[in-house]
Every structure is written in structure tokens, then in C-alpha cells.
Structure 1
Amino acid sequence: MAAGKGRQRHGQERPAVTMQVHVRPGDARRTLRAEVLEGLCVEGRPKELSPKWLYDERGSQLFDDITRLPEYYPTRREREILREHARDIARACAAHTLVELGSGSSEKTRLLLDALREEGGLERFIPFDVSESFLRQSAEAVARDYPGLHVHAVVGDFERHLGRWPREGRLLVAFLGGTIGNLKPPERARFYARLAEGMEPGDGLLVGTDLLKSRSRLFAAYNDRAGVTAAFNRNVLRVLNHELQADFDPEAFEHLAPFDEENQWVEMRLVSTRAQAVRLPALERFVNFAEGEVLRTEVSCKFHPAQVQEELAAAGLERVGYWTDAAGDFALSLALKR
């Protein structure tokens, strides 16, 4: 653990932030290499990558652009719920520590921080994300804007480092943005179970879920007319080019994000527009694509309200609060460990 206090340029004092680092330099590249070998290089297996590789610096900026598109409703709807019900959430959980998974800029979480502070119990904020540099910046911004709040940033991967944060008082874990939908059902079950194992009775989980709706609206949200989502999706190929010295031609892949009725998820795909062989010099491999072959880069599950409650209950988490936006597009569920 290292203290994050220091000086900025021009002698300005940086806010005091403590940091706990579980992801070391080189970890991400080693994980990427292993996943590419398994996800792209096994003949006869559908090609797939984890959505986390979409979010390098450029990808994160593109996703921020996506959240501002008129077709993409989830971010606006979740913010609407928090504006309306953050105080209700704060009263129901009475948390002393707020943990935010995949914290990003913590913009929406500030609504929770404000409400928890107004209720009088908040002592610590723990933003949790995989990017150390980005996390340090956002953690320092929160510390600067909330004097007296102990900000302890944790650099980790929620697939491997859940629960590796300091405990003091009642805990609320916030997993916002509908990110839980990027986990397929078995992965979600394991996630909820691991999280619940590290919680004490009375601790809470606040999870955001995108609800099922008309297929035309879902298609529009992930296939925007401006092509921002297409650029975001293709950016993963640039990540592979940079990290593995690959020679993907992003323009030789078409973005498509249809709704899978059987699995009840939107599936982000890159479709090869021609037969091609891609070099991966860092792995001493080639990857062959047939014309029309699909590389799946993300799933985004959509939910029935009862389904969310059942999945939480299976992990020993009792849903005690449920809120939607006025249009019923998105939901926040508060569950407590009993």
C-alpha cells in the first residue's frame, strides 16, 4: 500500500489518497496474451474476447462519447434514478464505506456520496478500477471535492480481487452502469457469490441493470447512426495491434450488435468482411478469419425485474429496494446480506 499524497506542478498540494495495488505492470499484457491464445487461436471454436479489452484510453473516451448519444439511454436513466432516489438508498443501507466497482470518473457516484454524507454516516470511499493512473486522478478529484472523506483507491480486477479492500463499519458496494450485464449467467452467479462471501450481515450491494424493452430501441442503442459504437468496437483491434504487434485491419471488420433472443442479450460483434489471415508476432501465431466470421467482443444482458431478485437471493442477498426511471428503462436494486 502506498500513500498517494504529493505535489502537483506549481507547488499545489495534491489531496491525500491512499492506494492499494493488486494489478502490477505487465499483468494486463500477460492476461491478454493468454486470452487471445484461448479466444482466437483455437481452431473450430467461436472467436471471443473479454469486453475489458475495449477500454484502453481511446476506448474509454469513445465509450464516454457513446453515453452522450441520443440513442444510448442507460447512463441518463441511471443518473435520473440516482437523482431521485439517492437519499432513499442512503437511508436503507446506512453505510459508512462506499465501494464503487469499475469506478471510472465516479460522476454518478457523487450523487450517492452526497446522499450518504447528508445521512451522516459516510467515512470512507473506495473506488476500485483496473487503471492505476486513471484511478489516481479520479480518486484525487473526489478527495479534493469532499474534504474529510477518507479516499482509499484499489487497483484491481473484480474477477480476481473482490473483497480486497479495508473494512470499517457498514459497507455499500455500488456496481453501476449495467456492467453486471457484461457477465453471462454463470459468471454473474460466481460474481455475486464471491462478493457475498466477503460481506458482513447488513452490508449492501447496489446494482444497476438494463431492463428488457423493444428490440428496435436496443438495436438503436448499440448500432448508433453516427458510428461511435462501431469505432469503439473496432478499437479493440487497435489494442491487439499495439499490445501484440498484430496486423489487424480494423476496416476489414464490420460492427454489428444484434439482440440474441435465446440468451436475452445484445451481442457486440466484429464481422470479417473477407477471408484473411492476421499475424500475431508476439505470440508467434496466425489467426484465420473466413468471410463473415464473427469475433464476439461483448455481451450486454437485459433483465426482467424478478430475475435480478432471484439471482441476488441465490447468493444470499435480499433485495430491499428497487427503483426505476420514469420510463421503466433501467433499474437499481439494493440488496443486503442477512
Structure 2
Amino acid sequence: MPDEIAPAGTAARPDDVLGEILAGLGNRQKTLPAKLFYDEIGCELFNRITQLPEYYVTRAEVALLDLHADEIAARAPGANGAGGTALVEYGAADESKGVRLIDAASAPFRAYVPIDIAPSALDAIVRRMRTSHPDILLSPIAADFMQPLALPPGVATLPSMGFFPGSTIGNFRPQAVVGFLQLVRQTLSGGGEPCLVVGIDLRKDPSRLVPAYDDAAGVTAAFNRNILRHVNHLADGSFDPDSFVHRAIWNERDGRIEMHLQSPRSQTVRVGGRTIQFVAGETIHTEDSYKHTRDGFVALAATAGWRSDGFWTDPDGLFGMHLLRG
């Protein structure tokens, strides 16, 4: 059974990551790539965030899956055939959401392909799934899914359902959403018409949104600052994370939460052999989280060649899942 971690041939190389870091910090509005949140410590902190009272997203999504997993799984390509279907999960930090589809009464899945940039997360998924689901073919891929990638030979020709849960797609600017959806169409085309289930955090009042990104316990602040520790590790940096203040801001014009790290004083940092200057009050923009409307996301997906073939929400209408076909 090919359940070892696939070589990360399509993952970003260290020199590419350094280039992204330096390019972002060289902008007038300094930025860092949000994918750098998810080192081992960052993954642990994010798991804590999902359990916070302010962070409604995971609870709403789980409620949606508890209600609709059977219906969603029944819509997978190959559901009426004997050959089985592959569930291809993007950003699979753990298997808990994918398993809800795999275990659905109507599920046709015989293969599971978790894709994540963190090999340690994939190793843990494989260990657990070998015990909990020994009959499922496991083919994890360690890669940056924002780059072109191919499914392993054992599953490439199976009908497949892509699965992108959480609200990670909200971290992408509209142009990047289109680019990602185009890549997914290419990846999933080998077994027939591409199919993708994608989660979106729906637009709502900022009074509900902002606390989800600036919790009272400070876990999100620690998560945000941890990106600087990760940069220090990757790029021989000298950031003092405690010298930056976490900020979560609602941008009404663009329909997004922005996370920033603000320098309250002037300071100098070394990164990758370069000197980076901060003036008092200057920020590093670390993440966007776009909040989509149902129709707005359908229109965005259509520009990447997808059409809507289903939509579900949790009982409170906080979170949605689109079924797209391409």
C-alpha cells in the first residue's frame, strides 16, 4: 500500500521561500506569506484557536458536515460505480473533516490523498489512518498546493472529489483564488470531470468576525507572532516576536479581516543577510481572511471554469460549502 509520504518535488525550495520573505519585507506595506504560519508550533497554536469560544468557524463547519456529509459524499464522481473514488484533501493538517465524508453512509471513497506543506502533519495522519481506516488507500503528498502537482499513479485515474475545508481559501486574494481553482481542475481531471467541495466563511457582522481573530486569551496573537520565529529559523532572522503587537482589522471595502504585526517603536532586523528597518507604528501584513457571499463566490469560481452544483450551510448560516464541477 503506497502510504508513505510522497517526495515533495513540487514544494517550495528553501531559496524560493527566502526570496518570498525578502520580497515581502521589501514592499512599502511589508508582508509575509501566510503559509509560513504552519510550522509545528503554528499548527499546534491553530488547533488551539479552533477550540476558542470566539472562533465560530470550526464549530459551524462541523455542524454543517454532521448534517450534510451523507448528501455531499453521495454527489462524488463515481458514487454509483464499483471502482471507488479518491478523496483529495487540500491543506490536510489532520483528517478529522475528511473522515466525516469517508465515513458517510453513501461514501464511495476507497482512497484518501491528503495534501499539506507540513510532512509532520502527514506522518501523523498516516499513523492514525492505518489504524482507524485500514482498508483506505493512503497516498499523502507533501507539497505547496499553490504550485502545480500531480496525483500519485495509484489514484490519478480514479474519479476524485477535491475537498478544501476550513476557510483557508479566504486567505487568498481573488486573483489567487482563481489561480488555485485552475490548478485544482488540472490536478483532478485525470479521472473524469473535476469535482471540488470548498468551504467558505460567509460574510457577517464585524462584531462577530473581529473577536474570532483577536481572542481574549491571546492565542491568535501568539499564532501571529510565531510566524516571526519561523522566519528566524528559515532565513537566519533576528526578529524579536515579543516586540511586535498583534492587530486584527476589518476591511469593509474588500470584505476581509486583515492580520498585522505592528512595531510600536523604530527597530532594525536582519533577515537573510539583509537589514530591514521598521519605523514606529509600521506593520507587517501577515494574513487576509476574505468573507464571501454565496453568489459572489460562485461568480469568482466561474472565472476559473467551475460551475456550482450544490451549496450547504450550518444551521446558523455562518459557514458554507460549495460543490463545484468543472
Q: Same fold (TM over 0.5)?
A: yes
Please name the residue that 2:82 is paired with.
none
Name which of 2, 7, 17 aligns with 1:32: 17
Contact 2:267–2:277 (8 Å) recurs in 1: yes
1:198 matched to 2:183: no
Please name the residue that 1:184 is paired with.
173
Q: How far 1:71 moved relative to its partner?
A: 0.2
Please name the residue that 1:147 is paired with.
134
Please name the residue that 1:316 is paired with.
305
Contact 2:188–2:194 (8 Å) recurs in 1: yes
What is the CA–CA distance in structure 2 between the aligned matches of 1:318 and 1:336, rounded to whole Å?
A: 5
What is the CA–CA distance in structure 2 between the aligned matches of 1:215 and 1:144, rounded to whole Å?
A: 42
User: What are structure 2's unaligned runs of at least 5 residues?
Assistant: 79-84
**Deviation per residue, 1:33-70 (Å, 9 max, x gap):** 1112211135xx21001111111111110110000000
**Deviation per residue, 1:289-321 (Å, 9 max, x gap):** 010001011100000110111122222222111
Equivalent pairs, count: 316
Contact 1:23–1:157 (8 Å) recurs in 2: no
Q: How does 1:223-238 map to 2 (within 5 A)?
A: 223-238=214-229
What is the CA–CA distance in structure 2 between the aligned matches of 1:18 and 1:78, rounded to whole Å?
A: 29
Q: Which amino acid aligns with 1:221?
A: A
User: What are structure 1's unaligned runs of at least 5 residues?
Assistant: 5-16
Please name the residue that 2:264 is paired with.
273
Q: How does 1:86-165 map to 2 (within 5 A)?
A: 86-95=69-78, 96-115=85-104, 118-119=105-106, 121-165=108-152
Name which of 231, 237, 253 aligns with 1:240: 231
Q: Which amino acid aligns with 1:53?
A: L
Q: How far 1:120 moved relative to its partner?
A: 5.5
Residues 28, 65 of structure 1: alpha-carbon distance in 2 compared, 3 angstrom cutoff: farther
Residues 158, 120 of structure 1: alpha-carbon distance in 2 compared, 3 angstrom cutoff: closer
Residues 149, 164 of structure 1: alpha-carbon distance in 2 compared, 3 angstrom cutoff: closer
- With 136-145 and 288-297 compared, the bigger mean Cα shift is at 136-145
What is the CA–CA distance in structure 1 between the aligned matches of 2:226 and 2:48, rounded to whole Å?
A: 14
Q: Which amino acid aligns with 1:137?
A: A
1:211 matched to 2:202: yes
Q: How far 1:90 moved relative to its partner?
A: 1.1
TM-score scaled by length of structure 1: 0.89
**Deviation per residue, 1:170-203 (Å, 9 max, x gap):** 1100001110011100111111122223333433
Residues 194, 24 of structure 1: alpha-carbon distance in 2 compared, 3 angstrom cutoff: closer
What is the CA–CA distance in structure 2 between the aligned matches of 1:319 and 1:69, rounded to whole Å?
A: 32
Name which of 315, 319, 323 aligns with 1:330: 319
Instruction: Please give the root-mean-square deviation of Cα atoms over the aligned residues, in Å.
Output: 1.8
Kindly, what percent of the aligned residue pairs are identical? 35
Please name the residue that 1:10 is paired with.
none
What is the CA–CA distance in structure 2 between the aligned matches of 1:46 and 1:36, rounded to whole Å?
A: 13
Contact 2:245–2:264 (8 Å) recurs in 1: yes
1:306 matched to 2:295: yes
Residues 71, 214 of structure 1: alpha-carbon distance in 2 compared, 3 angstrom cutoff: same
1:70 matched to 2:56: no
What is the CA–CA distance in structure 1 between the aligned matches of 2:5 and 2:36, rounded to whole Å?
A: 23
What is the CA–CA distance in structure 1 between the aligned matches of 2:208 and 2:279, rounded to whole Å?
A: 31
Aligned to 1:198, the other structure's residue is in SS state: helix
Residues 284, 124 of structure 1: alpha-carbon distance in 2 compared, 3 angstrom cutoff: same
- With 67-76 and 121-130 compared, the bigger mean Cα shift is at 121-130
TM-score scaled by length of structure 2: 0.92
**Deviation per residue, 1:134-165 (Å, 9 max, x gap):** 21221231132112211111111111134444
1:21 matched to 2:21: no
What is the CA–CA distance in structure 1 between the aligned matches of 2:240 and 2:143, rounded to whole Å?
A: 31
Q: How far 1:240 moved relative to its partner?
A: 1.8
What is the CA–CA distance in structure 2 between the aligned matches of 1:168 and 1:24, rounded to whole Å?
A: 20
Q: How far 1:24 moved relative to its partner?
A: 8.1
Residues 162, 196 of structure 1: alpha-carbon distance in 2 compared, 3 angstrom cutoff: same
Please name the residue that 2:81 is paired with.
none
**Deviation per residue, 1:196-233 (Å, 9 max, x gap):** 23333433100000001011111110011111000100
Q: How does 1:40-79 map to 2 (within 5 A)?
A: 40-42=25-27, 45-79=28-62
